[in-house]
Structure 1
Amino acid sequence: MASSTKFEYTCTLKDDTLKVAKKELNEDPGTRLLELKAFRDRLLQYPARMDTSHYTMLEVFKAEYLNLAKVIEEEENQVRGFTLLIDYKDFGMHNFLMMNLDFGKRISKMWQDAFPARMKACLIVNEPHFMDLVLGIFTQFMKDKLIKRIHRIGTDWKKLHTFIDPS
């Protein structure tokens, strides 16, 4: 005889975060199961550094998926959001050549439609001289809301500190 145990959920959000979830995300523990039906099973993150002689873009994304999966285990991170800091210091033309329009479209769609957490800002530091090309691949598929969250810092650390506390 099959057991029909119902999964019971205990909300771990702090009261103030629960208010944010209800107000900004229109979610609460009572509607959680409905929201889970819309959850996407795939998460990817673009890493700024990769060894193109040993790893494909897909392999790098698989590793990054594990990192992000750990981050979003915390409900606080899902509701409050996060700031993504990408350091392009060692990003060379060989890295850029691994990208194409299909890749850009997939990553853009993932950030906008499939990632179960809120990216508050994407801060780009130490950008290479061809950063306009890199962003061109991604931003052509992005909504204005997400494009406005991308900030090119370069090496202006004072500008970076307007987004991230220097301590």
Structure 2
Amino acid sequence: MPANTTYECTLTPESLEVAKRELNEDPETRLQKVQELRELFKTRADIKFRSDDEFLLRFLRNKKFNIDKAFKMMVHHYKVRRDYPKLFNNFKPSAVKYYLDEHTQMVCPGKDKLGRTVVLGRVGKMNPDTFDFHDALKSMLMMMEILLLDENIQVNGVVHVVDHSGMTRKHLRFGTPMTMKMMVDVFESATPIRSKAAHYIRQPDIFEIMFSVMRPLLSEKMKKRLHFHGDEFGTLHEHVPSAILPSEFGGQLEKFDNSEYIKKILAAEDYFIENSQYGFLNVSQLSPNTNTNLNTTWLK
């Protein structure tokens, strides 16, 4: 599997310094590491891997250029796509356009003080009588996929701010142990996005009921990155500048508007369709000599 020789690094000088300091990235050996990762694909003949340099670098950066850990994450990336068919079948923007049009998510127009991308969410805009929980997760994952096309976001990571005003007891039916496990499994263990912090605001009393299901599933590292602000915007703004937040988040922007980013997601229909061709092979696609039990230690 030859390297993609058309790769050109698009990291800014600032991001490159972060990549060197935090992720062990060396421009001189970057593509050599990519090729070493690509060579491991031969050990899993039961998986069709996407193999271009840009895609592989996402996983290497997420795992600080530890090749074995990056490969393990790649295998798990495809494993969740096989194990959660309701989430990943028909995984394309047109299938969730109705949900995207609700504007429950927004990518802020600027960065935080550490150069990280800030993503907002509004739980109250998720009508529990009409929206499908899997479609909500699909749209969130698609946003992460689009963000990951930017190498600078791969390196610097994202910060999440979630507004829980408007959350009702009806929303609790989506917070089952099974759905929370799926969400953590997909976002924390299988998606190579660096989630640097999560801020929760305006949480009602019932928030703790749902979060008590999720908390034990999170890694200790992620637990330390959680911040709970309630109705206090001042403490939120110590982390996320008010200049890049809409007014309902106590910010200086006039309104919550993600129309431009939704256009980006909808325009990437072919990209998501192409991505869906990769993953675990069906039995009919396997070579007669393929041992599907090979290297199961990668999944442990």
Please give the range of the TM-score, normalised by the shorter of the 2 chains. 0.7 to 0.9
What is aligned with 2:181?
Answer: 105
Contact residue 137 and residue 183 of structure 2 kept, 8 A: no
1-structure distance, mates of 2:162, 2:34: 32
2:140 is the counterpart of 1:64 = yes
Contact residue 168 and residue 206 of structure 2 kept, 8 A: no
What is aligned with 2:20?
Answer: 22
1-structure distance, mates of 2:9, 2:148: 15
What is aligned with 1:138?
Answer: 214
What is aligned with 1:12?
Answer: 10
2-structure distance, mates of 1:103, 1:77: 27
What is aligned with 1:77?
Answer: 153
Q: Cα distance, 1:70 vs. partner?
A: 1.6
- The normalised TM-score by structure 1 is 0.84
Query: Which runs of 5 or more residues in structure 1 are unaligned?
Result: none
Letter in 2 for 1:136: S
Out of 23, 31, 34, the position equivalent to 1:32 is 34
- The normalised TM-score by structure 2 is 0.49
1-structure distance, mates of 2:208, 2:166: 16
Query: Which runs of 5 or more residues in structure 2 are unaligned?
Result: 39-55, 57-70, 82-86, 89-104, 106-120, 244-300
Q: Identity rate of aligned residues, in percent?
A: 24
Q: Cα distance, 1:5 vs. partner?
A: 7.7
What is aligned with 2:129?
Answer: 53
Aligned residues: 164
2-structure distance, mates of 1:91, 1:32: 44
2-structure distance, mates of 1:96, 1:60: 15
Residues 84-119 of structure 1, C-alpha deviation per residue, up to 9 Å, x if partnerless?
010111111111122210111122223332221211
* CA shift in 2, pair 1:150/1:67, >3 Å: same
SS at match of 2:21: helix
Residues 34-68 of structure 1, C-alpha deviation per residue, up to 9 Å, x if partnerless?
28254425699986241222222111111222222
Q: Cα distance, 1:6 vs. partner?
A: 5.2
SS at match of 1:140: helix
2-structure distance, mates of 1:94, 1:75: 39
2-structure distance, mates of 1:47, 1:27: 35
What is aligned with 1:122?
Answer: 198
1-structure distance, mates of 2:2, 2:23: 29
Q: Which is richer in helix?
A: 2
Contact residue 108 and residue 139 of structure 1 kept, 8 A: no
1-structure distance, mates of 2:163, 2:226: 13
